Amino acid sequence: MAVGHRDPAPAAPLHPGPSPGLNHRWSPEIDDLLILIFSMIHCFPKRPVTLKQLKAFLAVAQSLSFVQACERLHLSQPALSLAIKALENSLGGALFVRSSRNVQLTPEGEVLLAIAPRLLADWDNARDLMRQHFELDIGRVSIAAIPSFAGNLLPRALALFVQRYPRIHVAVHDVINEEVLEMIHSRHVELGIAFEPYGAGRLHFAPFYTDRFVAVVPPGSPLCAAESVAWTALADERFITLQRPSAVRVLLERAFAESGRSMAAAFECHQLATLGRMVAQGLGVSAVPGFCVPQMLELGARCLPLRGIQVQRRIGLFTSDERRLSSAAQALCEVLLGVADWERLAPRHAPG
């Protein structure tokens, strides 16, 4: 068979794997596709097989006619012959036995014919799947957030995200401040929400706003009669706080030290919901980030401004400087950073 000139437009190589920056777990069907493709690629001693070559092979193998295959693919016979020859060179042997009268498959060609239709169909499915990911029709994003934010402001922000991208799955990890940063460093999540650290290292920090702590007291407490509460007044009461290594705990210990008093914890717990309920039951007093006010009031506690030393810290979004975000993570990032007024997103109840 005569070989003509090379096709002017080279076919795309068959490399369907995910890009290095895409944090995605393939479905079982796509896993099978990748295993099959990579198994074939490792068998190619010279040049990788292309989709164009596989389509050319399948057209000839199904019709056993180069003329009919040319009509089906809208290719010239020299171009088709060149594609088949390149495929045979890549695989290491002949796939067809050709004569002036007919075309037959070799035993190796029969083997390839058995898997080629599925290979092409699975590649089409993989291409459609990736298109849906890039167009945000489907996808998954993981985010870590400190519990105080995850339980108060984040659900309202996620409601905005779901309105725009209802088919994107979001996994929320509510962990302490230090774990948020570690999960981004270790690539367990793409996004993190936490207090601004004193050294972010290789992480990028985009602040939402500056939060200010408030006092939390039981209903009916004499402290409720005042417009604000001093740190010394809190130190005179049984104090309830979160356990170490909570960032909230660290900030409170520093505030008490600056006020000249030590923080003697009468009760310790892990969750702010437990803390608020304990205060509401009259077991003691506490201080929490300002965005926790609605949660504290719902639990039955009262909130008052703190007088004197102000405990305030910027809170915002963390991403890694060494990792490109997936399309889903980028979309969630834009929604979070697009909230112009977090105070409006979580309206404050009247203190007390």
User: 75 and 82 in contact (C-beta within 8 Å)?
Assistant: no
What structural domains does the chain harbor? Answer: 28-134 (1.10.10.10), 140-345 (3.40.190.290)
Q: Please determine, for residue 351, whether its predicted confidence score (pLDDT) is greater than 60.
A: no
Helices (H) and strands (E) in the chain, counts: 14, 12
Write the single-letter amino acid at 270: H
What's the pLDDT tens digit per position in 321-343? 888 888 888 889 998 988 877 76
With 0-12 CB in 10 A as exposed, 13-18 as middle and 19+ as buried, what is 35? Answer: exposed
Helix (H, G, I), strand (E, B) or coil at 28: helix
Q: Which residues 6+ apart lie within 8 Å of 198 measured at CB? A: none
Length of the chain: 352
SS3 167: coil
pLDDT at 5 over 50: no
pLDDT score, position 99:
80
Return the minimum-mean-pLDDT range out of 100-109, 146-155, 249-258, 335-344. 335-344
- pLDDT above 70: percentage of residues in the chain: 79
pLDDT by residue (tens digit) across 161-215?
A: 988 888 888 999 998 888 898 999 888 999 999 988 766 568 899 998 888 899 9
Do the Cβ atoms of 119 and 16 come closer than 8 Å? no
Instruction: Describe the chain by its helix, strand, coil percentages, rounded to 5.
Output: 45, 20, 35
pLDDT tens by residue, 229-254? 998 899 899 999 988 878 788 888 88
What's residue 192's pLDDT? 94
Q: Is the pLDDT of residue 218 over 90?
A: yes
For the ranges 19-23, 27-31, 336-340, the lowest mean pLDDT is seen at: 19-23
The contacts of residue 171 (CB under 8 Å, 6+ apart) are: 140, 141, 142, 143, 189
> Which pairing describes strands 286-289 and 203-217: parallel, antiparallel, or unpaired?
antiparallel
pLDDT bin (cut points 50, 70, 90) of residue 344 is: low
Overall pTM surpassing 0.85 (yes/no):
no
Neighbouring residues of 226: CB distance < 8 A, sequence distance ≥ 6: 304
